[in-house]
Amino acid sequence: MTNPFNLLGRLFLRALAYLGQLAGLTAEIATAIVKGSPRWRLLFRQIVAIGFGSQPVVIVTGAFTGAVLAAQSYFKFSEFGIETTVGAVVSIAMCRELGPVLTGLMVAGRVGAAMAAEIGIMKVTEQVDALRAMAVHPVEYLVLPRTVGMVISMPLLIAEAIMFGIIASYIVSVHGFHIPEAWYNFHVRDNTELEDIFIGMTKGLVFGFIIVIISCHQGLTATHGAVGVGKGTTSAVVIASLFILVVNFFLTLLLNFFYPLGAQ
């Protein structure tokens, strides 16, 4: 019978080794930023692929998240006569939590999988080795443009999700449930602070880096042909999504310590 403590020990060591590999890749990216030459065409191509290409899924996710949150809040708040505060609840929730987290999960599924697959195919077909043979650092050529493109695009995508979530909430609340427009707008403006938006943007930067570092690592370590690429792609989405959820908890505790909810 397997000793559970030995199993937990092996899992802990594997997780520690994986985090060490991610840290090593992060150090290579930092070195490429300092010493490498900018590849503007590759960077703009990644911004278009990540930012522009992810807009439809982000808009739909943000809009319907705001709409359903407004509906559920109204159903409960109307029992206590405070349904006019629906706008404030939706705005704060979208800025601080739902906007960043849901956008991160959707981008991880869409962009993270594509990154892992693209780099994984290059790895198993020895194109990465060909780059090294031509004196081109794979991290500088493949990973750095994706990292910068993700860091630029992610906060903008989150801002878009927040905006459409609040707009959808307004439509559902004011035109669907006939909440007075003046009261709805008053509560949104009175309770939403710049700190709430700052928290959402900060989370976006962190989640974007998590997605790109894990996806590129899975691609660079892919082996065993098409099967390995498929496993790496699946692992990239799963691991990035789990990291986003776990890191979000600690970011929430940290950021709310410096910017507590409701502080003026």
CA neighbours closer than 13 Å in the CB half-sphere of residue 162: 27
pLDDT tens digit at each of 264 positions of the chain: 557 767 788 888 888 999 999 999 999 999 988 887 778 898 999 999 999 989 999 999 999 999 999 999 999 998 888 888 999 999 999 999 999 999 999 999 999 999 999 999 999 888 988 988 888 888 999 999 999 999 999 999 999 999 999 999 999 999 999 999 999 999 999 888 999 999 999 999 999 999 999 999 999 998 878 888 889 899 999 999 999 999 999 999 999 888 887 655
* pLDDT for the residue 101: 96
How far is the C-alpha of 165 from the C-alpha of 159, rounded, in Å?
A: 10
Does an H or E element contain 65, and which?
Answer: helix 55-77
Q: In 173-193, which ranges are continuous DSSP H helix?
A: 181-191
